[in-house]
């Protein structure tokens, strides 16, 4: 059973600390040395972190029980070289007694969200979307593989405390609009570099109505604006979720803070949106692109591969058959088990979806659903950069609801008109 400090609010020269400053215990602009409460990497960055660590002289792993090595990016192995590297990493994790998850365990960020990440912690991941875990009121951020090798050796790293952008969410989501539409909307509002090396703090009267799956989606895409972290205060929603994993936490008290910038999004006014090739911040209403033919739909990733996403997909696909190839990849084995037990998986199979092994799937264009030249895909992932998921292909980003409707129609479809 774990308990965390609920508040570390401090004031200096009338500056009221943001959540990031409370966790890092310094004001924005300061440089701090921190010990990572948890650090993790995956099969891709783990290979490079190991090389970095060896170049440092292979020092003892500091606090191995705080380190996680989680296979997800190219799992199962796509070629012999990948398989060889996986073999080396398995042996390394066992020798160093790190927490380890093998093929099919799931995406690193999702696994850390399943009762491992806690409010008030400093969590460092060797992947840019490590900011996902800020949904728990943690300071979670990504680093490069070289830095992860140093964290293995020292147990910590240094950070510059970021300034914070307050993103106030008001009202409630309309029918057929979901958290992914919020995330894409704020990416369009801020732009791909609009919050560079800042933290985004999600606040407002809408927050109690957003569950943990929603919050994980919101924080996941903070990095798409250049942000160092995205954070939600740990509240009753957080406490209930973690209690389901046998972990009891004290909630964080939200108070007015000294923000670098404040923005507001009224959820009542949102509509289903798309990120149009080839930028995450090129955001438009789905209605503007309705009728665009697509070759593939992909539902999954660390943004939208949770059980809540698969359940929503199944509700829409019930008694339907998809018109284009539709790949569904659960974010973790736990998600897959939930989908199997509830009947969601059966519904998706009956709708002729292809179910992938839990992990990242085709998100980075390595395997399990890469697009061909000239093909068009619709994805619930977080990036649509040129050539990312297929050379000379195009990928649109959307919510699960938009993806489900489009899979049935065989073309980009506005849920507002379809459902």
The ranges assigned to domains in the chain are: 11-267, 273-418
Residue 60 burial (10 A CB sphere; 0-12, 13-18, 19+):
exposed
pLDDT value of position 255: 86
With helix as H, strand as E and coil as C, how does 90-127 read? HHHHHHCCCEEECCCCECHHHHHHCCCCCCCCEEEECC
Instruction: Give residue for tokens 């009753």.
Output: 236
Closest CA to 159 of 141, 134, 144: 141
Closest CA to 373 of 387, 386, 391: 391
Q: In 3-state terms, what secondary structure has residue 213?
A: helix
pLDDT value of position 398: 98
CA–CA separation, 276 and 290 (whole Å): 12
Q: In 3-state terms, what secondary structure has residue 349?
A: helix
Question: What is the DSSP code string of 39-103?
Answer: EEEEHHHHHHHHHHHHHTT-PPPSSGGGEEEE--TT-S-SSHHHHHHHHHHHHHHHHTT-EEE-T
Q: Are the folds of 11-267 and 273-418 the same?
A: yes
Contacts of the segment 13-16: beta carbons below 8 A, 24+ positions apart? 14/258, 15/258, 16/255, 16/256, 16/257, 16/258
pLDDT value of position 5: 40
Instruction: Give residue for tokens 């409010």.
Output: 119
Q: Is the peptide bond before 407 cis (omega within 30 degrees of 0)?
A: no
Closest CA to 357 of 346, 347, 369: 369
pLDDT value of position 3: 28
Closest CA to 275 of 266, 262, 256, 288: 288
User: At a CB cut-off of 8 Å and minimum separation 6, what does 383 contact?
Assistant: 224, 280, 363, 397
CA–CA separation, 405 and 419 (whole Å): 8
| Rg of the chain in Å (alpha carbons) | 21
CA–CA separation, 355 and 345 (whole Å): 8
CA–CA separation, 79 and 71 (whole Å): 15
Pick the CATH number of 11-267 from 3.40.640.10, 3.50.50.60, 3.40.50.970, 3.30.499.10: 3.30.499.10
Please state whether 366 falls in left (phi above 0), alpha (psi between -120 and 50) or beta.
alpha
Domain 273-418 has CATH 3.40.50.150: no
Q: In 3-state terms, what secondary structure has residue 417?
A: helix
Cα 304 to Cα 52, 380, 398, distances in angstroms? 32, 6, 10
The partner residues of 69 in beta bridges, in order of sequence, read 41, 100
CA–CA separation, 75 and 83 (whole Å): 9
8 A C-beta contact, residue 316 and residue 401: yes
CA 378, 383, 388, 393 torsion-angle sign:
positive
pLDDT value of position 2: 26
Q: In 3-state terms, what secondary structure has residue 270?
A: coil
Q: What is the pLDDT along the chain (419 residues), one digit of tens a residue?
A: 222 343 444 555 577 899 999 999 999 999 999 999 999 999 999 999 999 999 999 999 998 999 999 999 999 999 999 999 999 999 999 999 999 999 999 999 999 999 999 999 999 999 999 999 999 999 999 999 999 999 999 999 999 999 999 999 999 999 999 999 999 999 999 999 999 999 999 999 999 999 999 999 999 999 999 999 999 999 999 999 999 999 999 999 888 899 999 999 999 999 999 999 999 999 999 999 999 999 999 999 999 999 999 999 999 999 999 999 999 999 999 999 999 999 999 999 999 999 999 999 999 999 999 999 999 999 999 999 999 989 999 999 999 999 999 999 999 999 999 98
The first and second tokens of residue 291, run together, are: 């009728």
pLDDT value of position 7: 44
Report helix angle 43-55 to 80-95, nearest 10: 60
Instruction: Give residue for tokens 């951020």.
Output: 141
The predicted model scores a pTM of: 0.94
Closest CA to 251 of 114, 140, 122, 119: 119
């Amino acid at each position: 059973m774990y308990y965390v400090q609920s508040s570390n609010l401090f004031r200096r020269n009338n500056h009221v600390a943001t959540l990031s400053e409370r966790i890092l215990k310094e004001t924005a602009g300061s440089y701090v040395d921190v010990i990572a409460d948890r650090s993790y990497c995956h099969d891709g960055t783990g290979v490079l972190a190991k090389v970095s660590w060896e170049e440092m002289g292979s020092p003892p792993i500091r606090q191995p029980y705080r380190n996680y090595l989680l296979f997800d990016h190219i799992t199962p192995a796509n070629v012999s070289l990948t398989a060889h590297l996986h073999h080396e990493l398995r042996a390394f994790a066992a020798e160093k007694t790190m927490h380890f998850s093998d093929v099919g365990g799931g995406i690193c960020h999702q696994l850390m969200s399943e009762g491992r990440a806690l409010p008030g912690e400093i969590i460092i991941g060797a992947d840019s979307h490590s900011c996902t875990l800020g949904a728990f009121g943690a300071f979670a951020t990504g680093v490069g593989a070289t830095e992860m090798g140093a964290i293995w050796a020292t147990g910590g790293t240094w950070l510059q405390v970021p300034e914070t952008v307050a993103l106030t969410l008001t009202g409630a989501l309309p029918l057929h609009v979901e958290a992914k539409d919020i995330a894409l909307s704020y990416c369009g509002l801020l732009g791909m570099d609009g919050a560079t090396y800042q933290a985004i703090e999600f606040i407002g009267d809408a927050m109690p109505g957003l569950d943990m799956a929603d919050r994980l989606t919101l924080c996941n895409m903070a990095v798409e604006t250049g942000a160092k972290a995205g954070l939600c205060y740990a509240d009753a929603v957080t406490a209930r979720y973690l209690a389901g994993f046998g972990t009891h936490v004290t909630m964080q008290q939200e108070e007015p803070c000294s923000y670098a910038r404040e923005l507001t999004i009224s959820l009542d006014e949102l509509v289903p949106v798309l990120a149009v090739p080839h930028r995450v911040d090129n955001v438009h209403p789905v209605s503007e692109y309705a009728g665009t033919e697509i070759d593939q739909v992909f539902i999954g990733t660390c943004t939208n591969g949770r059980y809540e996403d698969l359940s929503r997909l199944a509700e829409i696909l019930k008694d339907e058959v998809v018109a284009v190839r539709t790949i569904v990849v659960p974010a973790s084995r736990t998600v897959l088990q939930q989908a199997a037990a509830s009947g969601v998986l059966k519904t998706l199979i009956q709708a002729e979806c292809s179910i992938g092994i839990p992990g990242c799937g085709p998100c980075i264009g390595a395997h399990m659903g890469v697009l061909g030249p000239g093909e068009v895909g619709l994805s619930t992932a977080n990036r649509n950069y040129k050539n990312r998921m297929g050379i000379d292909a195009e990928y649109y980003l959307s919510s699960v609801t938009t993806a489900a409707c489009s899979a049935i129609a065989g073309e980009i479809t506005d849920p507002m008109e379809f459902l």
